[in-house]
Structure 1
Amino acid sequence: MDRKPLRLAILEGERVLTAAGIPSARAEAEMLAAHLLGVERTKLMMFPLVDQSVVDSLERLVQQRATRVPLQHLTGAAALGRVTLAVGPGVFVPRPETEQLLEWGLNRLRGLRNPVVVDLCAGAGGLALALAHERPDAEVLAVDNDPTALSWARDNAERRRLAGDVPVHVLEGDVTDPGLLAERERGVDLLVCNPPYVPEGTPVPPEVGDHDPPAAVFAGRDGLRVLRHVVAHAARLLSPGGGIAVEHDDTHGGSVPALLAARSELTDAEAHNDLAGRPRFATARRDPAGDPTRSG
């Protein structure tokens, strides 16, 4: 069978994706090719020639991506930290920006033995599973209220368990429930959350607007509807000295740290920018000397 240069197929994919407005067209064409060949992107040079069937399959994937189907839906996977998650239609796809929140959480756990970690609005379970991978001594709970997200999270948790990671407990729960995880009050060392936070009516890319579940993206007129509940849970669930890290919209650089600072139980509220310099997440810790009976 006549074999074809993979380089030319990737160049054609780059051309199509560039015309479709995909910013990282070359990288995505290479990632799609690597997915088809079952290798890491860095190993593509080992395949100078491929069968025509590979070229045809790459062309089909590129055409789908050009219609703004998320890359992760086409490959079936998304990475967070050193963990790769299965993702697809019906569940929020983790973003690279969340890596910094993950790093903050891991630093916060440094020096703690057998910490308890809670991931609220867990979606496919990315933060929970990435933290569990790095801290096999931790007890990690992933909480969501969406049946589809819970199904993805449970499947991912089972895959990671079979790979040798500490089991993650995937729980159904709603952050609007004031008694959520009542049995864990003042017993959580780290609470992380990447909640829905985009204000209603905000323009979003087609990959988000057409493919991410709206309930995992939008959160009321100001985007803070869910975040307010998350902050209230942090004030109730965190152990003395425990930390919270919560992702937010880039318009929330002042409002989310202010929500954290308004709780008398919390201290050291801090804003954090992403690598592009945009406000991305906020952190705080439970004041060891705070009065748990007071509210903000």
Structure 2
Amino acid sequence: MKALINFTEMETNVHKLGLKLLYIKSYTAEDDLHSLLHYHPFMEIFYVVKGSGTFLFESKEVPISKGDLLMINSNLKHTETVDETNNLEYIVIGVEGMSIMPYPKNELIIDEDSPYDLIIQLNFFKKNFLHKTDDIEKPILYLLQEQNEKKSNYLEFSQNLLEILVLNILRNSNTGIVIKSDDKSNRELEYIKSFIDIHYSRDLNLDELSSMVFVNKYFLIREFKKTYGDTPMNYLKNKRIEVAKDLLKNTDHYIKEIASIVGFNSQSHFSRVFLQATGYKPQEYRTIQTSK
């Protein structure tokens, strides 16, 4: 990550972040909205134009209503749920090149029983701008119009509107929010690592992983190893072995079941890889661990 840029510096430095508009979309309760938790390798700005609903994280529900603006960092799983009777309408903006630090460290609320809440605090910002429509809603609506109409020089207009929007969010937030430049390659690697951590049981391969972030697979191998000390496929193998070790130690699942749970196509393949990684066959490892 590059150096942090605080509130007072933003007026002259926001253009240095290298923001890039990826998309802007409007939704109503009648549209086919997300119903499953999902995440992106970039920031999303979410603005409620009308009505109310709920924003959902893994362990937290956040009520949303007209005028609410949310900023969600990359790789934070979320979704929005709506009740058609509440007439929710909102606009989502995908932005590359930035992330947020919403709270000073001394204001963080740490709950040891809910560690995911801390992740949310570090990667999520919400504020109602109902009485600041000229500063917040108008730039968003103009940005949506530019992208829909695609008149001459609309890309330049859109870039300026995006930067104005970010400035206005900072000027009107009155909080400890900090904007930082988000290195694209770091974000892509974090996304792949998070994807493997969640989907280790899938039949993943380098071609699929590299296509997710639009990079060459050899570039992904080199940069992933430079950052995490291992290649993506070795990281995947080790992740599967760690989960398998926990299952062998703490459950009564058959070896064949564990092999399937962690993503191996056959028990024999699982046993061979497990032996290479740990020096024990799965049943030997289970016997040793359960006898302690």
Say yes or no: TM over 0.5. Answer: no
> Structure 1-normalised TM-score?
0.27
> Structure 2-normalised TM-score?
0.27
Specify which structure has the bigger relative contact order, considering alpha-carbon pairs within 8 angstroms and separated by 6 or more residues: 2
